[in-house]
């Protein structure tokens, strides 16, 4: 097993389950004319960093292409890229006329699945890109989450967590994509029920640098505020105190004006909240 397989074992298992060798010289490494190669129309990634491509082109000029491309043979003179489009583009920049490649046979459905699986295994994908790839595999390749889990050697919970990110508002998804917030932040925001609350917490993350734990606490505070406060209709004073502290209050008053005030709290945080309110007067 090569060091690359050790680094990405899921990639080897995922693609090997989808690829099949066929044809003359298919299965070994071939030298294919660049003029005969087409980019993969199913590749989920369409943006390529030009500076990074130029750096790779310089490396290819000096060392050649270390990892062959993987192509499918469309006809006698046409090949499409299954994986390695970035290497292909850099090779063209480097002025190469031919590239080393493995040649496979695949139909369009398998091509899409191969491209998406290969895309998921890239280390530089962000959580939104991974979620979109999962979504396409499920919707366009007709896979269940269990089947997808087996294809890419990822847990169902990992798949579900990435898919849930796609339910966030577009500007929050963009912030995850651009590394302005982490996936941990995004998952904490998902626990907020309403989009308005998600956006308010999101803005607080950007403005105040809230940690994931602080966002989770934001959610708990929101839940407390949104809960209906149980008060007796016979005690306006109890209702007033409940509104002030945001917790359930009960007043039992005797005939002579004496009585008992009780405040219900569920944890130490809520008790601390009561103490702070009392200190504030």
Catalytic site positions:
85
> Among 12, 44, 15, which Cα is nearest to 131's?
44
Dist. CA 77–CA 32, nearest whole Å? 10
- Which residue blocks in the chain are alpha helix, DSSP H? 3-7, 9-16, 50-63, 85-93, 108-120, 127-140, 145-152, 156-165, 170-177, 183-190, 195-208, 212-226, 236-245, 268-280
Given its phi and psi angles, is residue 155 left (phi above 0), alpha (psi -120 to 50 degrees) or beta?
Answer: beta
Give CA–CA dist 192/131, Å, rounded.
Answer: 20
Token reading at 178: 């651009």
In contact, 234 and 251? CB cutoff 8 Å: no
Q: Say if CB 162 and CB 134 are below 8 A apart.
A: yes
CA 122/CA 266 separation, integer angstroms? 45
């Amino acid at each position: 097993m090569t060091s690359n397989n050790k680094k990405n074992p899921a990639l080897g298992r995922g693609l090997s389950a989808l690829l099949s060798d066929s044809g003359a010289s298919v299965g070994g490494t071939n030298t294919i004319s660049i003029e005969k190669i087409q980019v993969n129309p199913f590749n989920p990634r369409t943006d390529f960093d030009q500076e990074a491509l130029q750096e790779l082109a310089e490396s290819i000029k000096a060392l050649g292409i270390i990892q062959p491309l993987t192509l499918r043979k469309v006809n006698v003179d046409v090949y499409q890229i299954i994986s390695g489009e970035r290497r292909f583009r850099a090779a063209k920049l480097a002025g190469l006329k031919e590239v080393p490649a493995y040649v496979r046979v695949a139909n369009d459905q398998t091509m899409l699945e191969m491209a998406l699986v290969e895309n998921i295994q890239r280390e530089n994908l962000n959580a939104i890109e991974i979620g979109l790839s999962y979504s396409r595999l499920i919707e366009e390749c007709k896979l269940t989450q269990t089947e997808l889990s087996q294809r890419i050697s990822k847990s169902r919970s990992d798949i579900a967590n990435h898919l849930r990110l796609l339910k966030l508002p577009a500007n929050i998804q963009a912030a995850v994509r651009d590394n302005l917030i982490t996936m941990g932040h995004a998952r904490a925001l998902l626990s907020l029920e309403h989009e308005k609350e998600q956006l308010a917490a999101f803005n607080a993350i950007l403005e105040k640098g809230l940690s994931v734990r602080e966002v989770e606490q934001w959610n708990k505070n929101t839940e407390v505020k949104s809960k209906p406060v149980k008060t007796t209709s016979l005690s306006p004073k109890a209702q007033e105190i409940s509104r002030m502290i945001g917790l359930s209050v009960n007043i039992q008053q005797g005939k002579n004006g004496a009585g008992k005030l009780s405040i219900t709290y569920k944890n130490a945080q809520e008790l601390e909240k009561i103490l702070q309110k009392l200190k504030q007067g």
